[in-house]
Chains A and B, each alone.
Chain A
């Protein structure tokens, strides 16, 4: 190896060659070092940048699951509409950024070029709506209401409409089968917000910008089941945005179907009858105010008594849920959210609260029994009850003399409960309470009042039990205002404020007396009272009312049943429950509700009822009617509609008639019966996603015939005089 020959070169040249060699290799070391720095040390950073460069995601939204009634009739499903969309990437490749194409398209769709242009522009800080706030790589919908003719024009002249597609796309539809809108129960969808996208970013079900989210009702509660998972295809694109290939295709899964316990037929009856009852009430004159009844809102709940499942739930005023589909218009939104419309978005069955009036007396009676007053004891039903200088009157100042608690419920005697309430208040120490038992308050709470029932609908309100703690809290929150307003010798309001300022934190005798008949500061929701009456009927179990019955996968293969759950037992023994049952049967046969159940086949279908009329300061009375048979509990309330039996009686009876197939005389025709027994089977969903749903016919109300004189007589004989009161 050492055969390097002698060279004639000078040392200078040799040194210079070494210098050259050193320089060359230091250059290469520099390159190597820099290469290592970029690739190995900072490689990840650049890999991210490269990803951002070339991957674009295209979202194929998942078809939202349907909401079905108990027999599979779709209450909310999807409708195929012709959606015309524009691909922004395609348009931007054109010399005029697609202006010519969009102008032609506007012509076909009957829109102005500006309208179309606004739809495809991208939202940014300076661009007001309308604009597109989704991914620019996503086809941008221009209209979802294209006619087949328009779609054909676009498709047949594809060369005139590059980048424009007209395709059938699934759009939410609330079909209102048989007229059952089920508005507030179903809820509605609206586009996902930036905050929600951010919040769900790192969860297992992240939102996509194109997502619609359930905002209320079942759409919200079961959103994660209904929504499914969108398919996301990541495309590799080149510098010009041309698609070079798929990197990753994440097939979406369509949303699951939610089967509810709602029966669309009963629902449509309930909606119709509620509306009808309110219309009727508005034609009647309130004797107290001398005005026609306002009947401004109302609700009806039909529960399966033995499971707490909701067979129907209607709330008035209602609205057409389809108003939300495809983005709600400003006009519609204003209409749904203003005072003038009286907030139709509210579900009065779960979000409306009022004092229960006399339907509370089942709780008072239970409380009295718990406090040691025997159910069958004798209590004086005087025409009025005096408390200090105040006199609490019975309805129409009528007295019944000594009666049992059961009879007191039948005739809805106030004075019996006034006296019991007062007695217990005194037993608890009166104005100087000492280890109070508070039986009346405790029992109400143990009946589930004052807190949510746990129904699977969002934003349920809790109602209110005005116990000592509440009095104290309420006083602390309001005393400043009261003390400012109150005058000792002022007008009525000022005197009340003065009194409240001084001792509003104390539970006074008058509070307890009033409370014993469900008046005053107590507030309940229809769903709470339905739960209570269902519990009385089923032997004492307080079920969490539920609308959702099962979640079924789109192919029908996976069925996840939602089992009824309870939030406790009634705090009374079986004997008391039996007594209550008997008394409530008496209400329907000879008590305050008897006049509304004339001709009812009590022997075949035992009817139980309790009427109530709540007084709300400054308003007309709110009527309540709580009823149940062996299988169903129906509670209806109409705000400012007069007495419970008066306003709600015919409606509730008509709902029962439809369920059991009864005519006005009480003859049963099993063929017309909609649901004589609760639906226990789940509807079948075929592997192809189709649902075996029966046809639905709209509800045809029975012809109202004026009651025959004999019947009226019979009804009158059945009970003590026509008790057109509660």
Chain B
């Protein structure tokens, strides 16, 4: 590379449109495979959301395009949030982390107030002026940013090789507050994702093995305790029971997973064709535009289409891993690793439950599922990844 640039500048300061297209500009330095894979996922998601909702008049009323329209709008907002995030840069955001964290925790707390709403058994939403938000989606971002800020501060400053115990404790404490609140909602799916994020962040931060194994042990013990103490709601227990025994009550708790598996299985290699899936048009699979969107792909696009979604998610994660590896700052590495843990686990849980290898939990499939908050959060995450890549020091 030509000399002259040692470090790419901060977006807002350098921000002139002509530079966007210049050699070595931000646009040139974006991770295009990452971006294109995410866009492709969103587009496939739009088609699937349309297919899943066009018949559901109880949802869409007279306008079969209403969900498609809203989904595309969400993708647009998501893209804008990504651009904004790149523009600001993750380093700028680093300084704003305390505020962002505070706001997100406040929003999560709101869920527990009368503003909170229950959707599909999960009391994870707040209704503000007709708009439903799922604050736990934002919390995933702020936990990553907050923990990364704490854990990387001294390492990036060159004081230490690895975060010390004190810092780790602080970081865990920072994560624990919204996790506990989320657990109270209860939104078990999000809690699991957050726990995995914490694990990923700790791993990438270089915190000592004791913390990593300790965390794993605590998680296992916590799960047992939750089960034993009966902290789970009946519907959650039923979901686990149905997972353990798929033949159990196929008309009741096992209904979702059973119908989901029929839908996916019947797709075969090439699928029924978009809009032709009988399971989908017949609305046999509940929540098909959100948590069970993968069944639409399975039935209508077949192994080829569903496999493509997995492949594209794989591309996103592969690029994210590359970004995590290539950045020189620990802060960027931790943020990327947190996002990887988040996307990977959430995708695995979401697709896994439709395939019957994971218990049912209410989690959207990143980029593909319908749902604004989730869409915004994952595109902000893409923005963070791009920012880490764009702002990484170029080799001389």
Contact = CB atoms under 8 A, between A and B. Distances in A.
Contacts of A4: 325-326, 395
B310 A43 contact: no
B114 to A, nearest CB: 33
B154 interface: no
Contacts of A30: 348, 352, 357
Interface stretch (A232-240, A518-526, A573-581, A613-621): A232-240
Most buried by B among A21, A24, A49: A24
B1 to A, nearest CB: 7
Contacts of A204: none
B305 to A, nearest CB: 10
Contacts of B162: 10, 12
Contacts of A25: 314, 317-318
A708 interface: no
Interface stretch (A34-42, A416-424, A462-470): A34-42
A27 B284 contact: no
Most buried by A among B266, B267, B393: B266
A288 interface: no
Contacts of A31: 310, 347-348, 351-352, 355, 357
Contacts of A39: 264-265, 267-269, 298, 302-303, 306
Contacts of A16: 203-204, 206
A369 to B, nearest CB: 78
Contact of B265 (A14, A20, A46, A236): A46
A477 interface: no
Nearest to B336: A17
Interface string B319-331: 0010011111110
A56 to B, nearest CB: 11
Nearest to B284: A239
B325 A14 contact: yes
Contacts of B318: 25
B395 A5 contact: yes
A237 B352 CA distance: 28
B206 A54 contact: no
B264 A49 contact: no
Interface in B103-120: none
A9 B314 contact: no
A40 B303 contact: yes
A287 B263 CA distance: 86
Given A24-B340, A35-B307, A54-B279, A6 B284 contact: no
Nearest to A39: B303
A20 B268 contact: no
B239 to A, nearest CB: 19
B262 interface: yes
Contacts of B278: 50-51, 53-55, 236
A707 interface: no
A10 B303 CA distance: 41
B361 interface: no
Contacts of A51: 266, 278
B282 A54 contact: yes
Contact of A35 (B204, B299, B355): B355
B261 interface: yes
B360 interface: no
Tell me the interface secondary structure of chain B in the complex.
Answer: helix
B79 interface: no
Contact of A43 (B1, B268, B345, B394): B268
Is the interface on chain A under 10, 10 to 19, 20 to 34, or 35 or more residues?
A: 35 or more
Interface in A27-75: 27-28, 30-32, 34-36, 38-40, 42-47, 49-51, 53-55
A239 B395 contact: no
A3 interface: yes
Contacts of A21: 321
Contacts of B299: 50
Interface string B59-100: 000000000000000000000000000000000000000000
A27 B348 contact: yes
Contacts of A49: 262, 265-266
A232 B161 CA distance: 76
Interface in A585-610: none
A19 interface: yes
Most buried by A among B259, B355, B395: B355
Contacts of B341: 20
Contact of B328 (A8, A44, A45, A54): A8
A21 to B, nearest CB: 5
Contacts, number: 172
A46 B161 contact: no
A703 interface: no
Contact of A236 (B281, B314, B348, B357): B281
Nearest to A8: B328
Nearest to B396: A5
B284 A17 contact: no
B45 interface: no
A255 B210 CA distance: 84
B313 interface: yes
A693 B348 CA distance: 76
Interface string B340-381: 110011011001100111000000000000000000000000
Interface in A272-310: none
Contact of B283 (A5, A10, A238): A238
A238 B55 CA distance: 10
Given A16-B203, A20-B200, A46-B265, A36 B314 contact: no
Contacts of B200: 20
A47 B269 CA distance: 11
Nearest to B344: A24
B328 A42 contact: no
A389 interface: no
A28 B313 contact: yes
B333 interface: yes
Contacts of A47: 265-266, 268
B282 A244 contact: yes
A46 B264 contact: yes
Contacts of A239: 282-284
A19 B206 CA distance: 12
A409 to B, nearest CB: 79
A24 B317 contact: yes
B173 to A, nearest CB: 22
B268 A40 contact: yes
Interface string B186-217: 00000000000000100111100000000000
A27 B344 contact: yes
B57 to A, nearest CB: 10
Interface in B246-273: 259, 261-269
A8 B278 CA distance: 55
A20 B269 contact: no
Interface string A531-562: 00000000000000000000000000000000
Interface in A390-410: none
B242 interface: no
Contacts of A34: 352, 355-357
Given A28-B317, A35-B306, A39-B298, A20 B340 contact: yes
A17 B204 contact: yes
A510 B119 CA distance: 101
B333 to A, nearest CB: 7
B337 interface: yes
Given A17-B337, A35-B355, A238-B282, A50 B262 contact: yes
Contacts of B55: 238, 244
B163 to A, nearest CB: 11
Given A47-B265, A50-B263, 15 more contacts: A6-B328, A9-B333, A10-B161, A13-B204, A13-B206, A17-B325, A19-B203, A28-B310, A31-B351, A34-B352, A34-B355, A36-B307, A46-B262, A50-B278, A54-B278
- Give me the 8 closest cross-chain CB pairs, A-B, nearest first: A46-B265, A50-B266, A43-B268, A238-B282, A47-B266, A39-B303, A5-B395, A13-B206
7 contacts: A20-B321, A24-B321, A28-B348, A32-B307, A39-B298, A51-B266, A244-B282
